[in-house]
Amino acid sequence: MPVQVTTDVDAALDVIRRGGLVAIPTETVYGLAADAANETAVRRIFAAKGRPVDHPLIVHVAEPARLADWASEVPPTAAVLADACWPGPLTVIVPRAAHVLDVVSGGRASVGVRVPAHPLTTELLTRFDGGLAAPSANRFGRVSPTTAEHVVRDLGEVPGGVDLVLDGGPCPVGVESTIVDCTVDPVQVLRPGGIPTEQVERLLAGAVAPATGPSRASGMLASHYAPRCRVLLADTADEARAIAAGEANPLLIGDTDDLVRYAQRLYELLRRADEHGHSAVVAVMPPAAGLGHAIRDRLLKASADRAG
Ligand code: TXA
Ligand code: MG
């Protein structure tokens, strides 16, 4: 049976309450959501994605006041960031409350929480009155979905993959949330995303350190967010054109100063390259500022050597 794609929040709520999986629209990418307090339901997410079970999930909540429900304490840095950025593309890592399931936190002492900015998902979260554990709604290691159709293509054929897709249209930000570990002082940006690192630095008066330790977040693995075809990087549009000239059937992306649009369309274009049988994506790297940090990070991962 084809998976149900709908804008009906009642139907989505029903699936969540019954322990099912709903693909939810957010401002960043689509998430694959289950009741964060239902262990059986959360386990289904890992099976659907083919994701290692020790990778922690983000808990999505309706409003900033709900952060305290999932944290044993809210560090002042997390409070400042949540206050300024939520609803929006920011995830804070905080010490987890005792009731948070191991399957959600990957057995860690911390938990990631965010308030997404999308009217359908806000309505779902408000009426559910709980937390939704949700990773991006793609198969593990592949490009995140930014439309309902992407989700259907990735998970529609996977047995138990997704019970319902809540269709909220294309995601306006297009890259995942910025993850800030607030359990350490100074805080660390584990993954650049929709909130520019400079904004985090400004809000915390500069007290931000680079991420340390191997794979603090699964998105920090070298190869992630990858299409099947090769991804070649260039520093300028001229260089990109020169590289593309040596390719049989290249798809050139990023010849633009509009980083908002570049981020919005990035995953769509990486998918298109595979669907249209391009031999390679040739991408112009944006400057390392603002949304450029997140775009550069995803392009570097997409271009990483995937051998083994
Ligand atoms: O924009 C987003 O963040 C999207 C939408 C759906 O909200 N979600 C998303 O989830 O990108 P996911 O699971 O694909 O990436 C979340 C990242 C993972 O790399 C995970 O390892 C990291 O967050 N993470 C979650 N909880 C963590 C924790 N307690 N400590 C360290 N990293 C954590
Ligand atoms: Mg992901």
pLDDT of res. 270: 95
HSE-up (13 A, CA, CB side) for residue 271? 18
Q: Cα angle vertex 217, ends 212, 220, to 5°?
A: 75
The type of residue at 130 is G
The DSSP bridge partners found for residue 31 are 24, 136
Q: Quickly list DSSP for 4-42.
A: EEE--HHHHHHHHHTT--EEE--SSS-EEEEETT-HHHH
pLDDT of res. 213: 63
278-306: string of b/e by CB count within 10 Å (b at 16+)?
bebbbbbbbeeebbbbbbbbbbbbbbeee
- Which contiguous run of DSSP H or E holds residue 166? strand 164-166
Name the token pair of 248. Answer: 């049989």
Distance from residue 57's CA to the centre of ligand 1 (Å)? 5
Across the beta sheet with 230-234, the strand order is 230-234, 280-284, 250-253
pLDDT of res. 208: 87
190 touches ligand 1 (CB under 6 Å): yes
pLDDT of res. 215: 45
Q: How many CB atoms lie within 10 A of CB 183?
A: 20
Across the beta sheet with 208-210, the strand order is 4-6, 164-166, 22-24, 31-35, 132-134, 58-60, 110-114, 90-95, 178-181, 187-191, 208-210
pTM equals 0.95
- Which contiguous run of DSSP H or E holds residue 280? strand 280-284
Query: Is 74 in a helix, a strand, or coil?
Result: coil
pLDDT of res. 307: 42
Of all ligands present, the nearest one to the C-alpha of 176 is 1
Distance from residue 177's CA to the centre of ligand 2 (Å)? 10
Name the token pair of 115. Answer: 């308030």
Distance from residue 94's CA to the centre of ligand 2 (Å)? 19
Residues of the chain under the 70 pLDDT cut: 213-225, 305-308
pLDDT of res. 308: 36
pLDDT of res. 143: 92
